[in-house]
Amino acid sequence: MATDAGDPLPRFPAGFLWGVSTSAHQIEGAAELRGPSVWDVFTAEPGRVKDGSTAAVACDHYHRYPEDVALLAGLGVNAYRFSVSWPRVASPGGLDFYDRLVDELCAAGVRPVPTLFHWDMPAHLDWLDRDTAARFADHVAAVAGRLGDRVTKWITLNEPAEHTLLGHALGAHAPGRRLLFDALPVAHHQLLAHGLAVRALRAAGARDIGIANSHGPTWPASADPADVAAAGFYDTLLNRLFAEPVLLGGYPDGLGELMPGDVAADLRVIAEPLDWYGVNYYAPTRVGAPLGTRGEFGGVTIPAELPFSVREIEDRPLTDFGWPVVPEGLTELLCGFRDRYGDRLPPVVITENGCSYEGLDDQERIAYLDAHLRALHAALEAGVDVRGYFVWSLLDNFEWAEGYARRFGLVHVDFDTLERTPKASYRWFRDVLRAQG
């Protein structure tokens, strides 16, 4: 295992974006100062969040943001990816908070990179309704109108794939629906919202726009054609369903026929050109033919009726979350995207990469990040145009249905006292950034 005294990392290009990511619902707290979110409703239902916790206080970043910006400055990142809470923006005075945060970041020399939707939406809205896409465009216009004089780099959506799958197909995240394939309109309406958001941002003068999609290599469980077909289907869901409408203006494998509305017209909106493409990478997935039984994957129950089953990746270290550590999967993923999409793929930014481990002397996290940065550099050397890398996450935070049990932060948070304590990985990343200049 690499330690904090490992070999220096290879050099990344000048102008590379080095950052960390967070999201509003996971860190802000101050829930009483905004309208209710779908996640407030979900967490209030018994049994939804494993430790029974809520994000009402979380890291209390809403009140402690100056301390958190000082941590960013101390780390030496040149960019910070955070999200604006849609329910907060819709509440009186809500945008004032982001105004203050952006000012604080600019004063510290850290470039603000807001995500406009990271899964927390006003509780009365529903992605099954087409109109939600238009409401999102209004939200985006309000944020861009207020912050666009200082924010130049924008992210429309975070992981619409996970929000569709976990929130609407499998019921493991808010709003907790178990619609299986009837959740497809949720995918289409988020993609439409993305396209409308790009138009709203451009209308407000933005010139540097991306999306943060989750992707990972899909490995068939065996060479058996049934396993290969199942893995191909999973690959379509995870890697193509949310990339191809955006990059190519079309749905893969006839999925467009299952989408609601005037799909051809919507695709013209969805395919508005992007300036860069964000990839959130954690691990590959091994997939086989359905086993006819319920399965378990990353704490989520996979129903028997799905046309695939998720299998274990053996012989790999696991994070505390049980996710396999496969750094070369990042090289494979990026080279695969370059081969699949050619010049339709804009420059790539890794908008999330990280792992959950306990402890302040988090040598496993250092090893994970070190190995993934080397894998990213290998993709650069193979000719993939990569422009930035954001660690998930700055702070330990509210890890959705896992509550506070999973710690992804470079900075430890004591959830009783809210005290922040930089971990060994924080110092390691700071030294990496210094060495990169």
In the annotation, is 381 catalytic?
Answer: no
Q: Which residue has the tokens 């988090």?
A: 362
Q: Which lies closer to ligand BGC via its Cβ, residue 352 or residue 370?
A: 352
Within a 10 A sphere around the Cβ of 84, how many other Cβ atoms?
28
- Our CA dihedral for 61, 63, 64, 65, rounded to 10 degrees, sits at 70
In the annotation, is 352 catalytic?
Answer: yes
Q: Which lies closer to ligand BGC via its Cβ, residue 221 or residue 237?
A: 237
Q: Which lies closer to ligand BGC via its Cβ, residue 263 or residue 351?
A: 351
Q: How far is it, in rounded angstroms, from Cα 422 to Cα 302?
A: 36
Whether 365 and 425 have beta carbons less than 8 Å apart is answered as yes
Among the listed residues 28, 162, 332, 352, the single catalytic one is 352
Among the listed residues 159, 162, 364, 399, the single catalytic one is 159
Q: From the CB of 370, what's the least distance to ligand BGC, in Å?
A: 19
Q: From the CB of 402, what's the least distance to ligand BGC, in Å?
A: 8
Q: Which lies closer to ligand BGC via its Cβ, residue 84 or residue 263?
A: 84
Q: Which lies closer to ligand BGC via its Cβ, residue 370 or residue 399?
A: 399
DSSP for 116-162 reads: EESS--BTT--TTSTHHHHHHHHHHHHHHHHHTTT--EEEEEE-HHH
DSSP for 200-269 reads: HHHHTT--EEEEEEE---EEESSSSHHHHHHHHHHHIIIIITTTHHHHTSS-STTGGGGS-S-HHHHHHH
Q: From the CB of 224, what's the least distance to ligand BGC, in Å?
A: 30
- The total number of residues shown for the chain amounts to 437
Question: Which positions touch ligand BGC (CB under 6 A)?
Answer: 23, 158-159, 162, 214, 280, 352, 392, 399, 408
Q: How far is it, in rounded angstroms, from Cα 114 to Cα 148?
A: 11
Within a 10 A sphere around the Cβ of 138, how many other Cβ atoms?
12
Instruction: Retrieve residue 250's tokens.
Output: 């079309």
Q: From the CB of 282, what's the least distance to ligand BGC, in Å?
A: 6
Q: Which lies closer to ligand BGC via its Cβ, residue 146 or residue 365?
A: 365
Residue 403 Rama label (left phi>0; alpha psi -120 to 50; beta): left
Whether 218 and 156 have beta carbons less than 8 Å apart is answered as no
Q: From the CB of 274, what's the least distance to ligand BGC, in Å?
A: 18
Q: How far is it, in rounded angstroms, from Cα 159 to Cα 286?
A: 20
Q: Which residue has the tokens 């819709």?
A: 90
Q: From the CB of 408, what's the least distance to ligand BGC, in Å?
A: 6
Q: Which lies closer to ligand BGC via its Cβ, residue 27 or residue 141?
A: 27
**CA-CA-CA-CA torsion sign (112, 118, 123, 124):** positive
Closest CA to 243 of 298, 203, 200, 280: 280
Q: From the CB of 434, what's the least distance to ligand BGC, in Å?
A: 27
Catalytic positions, please? 159, 352
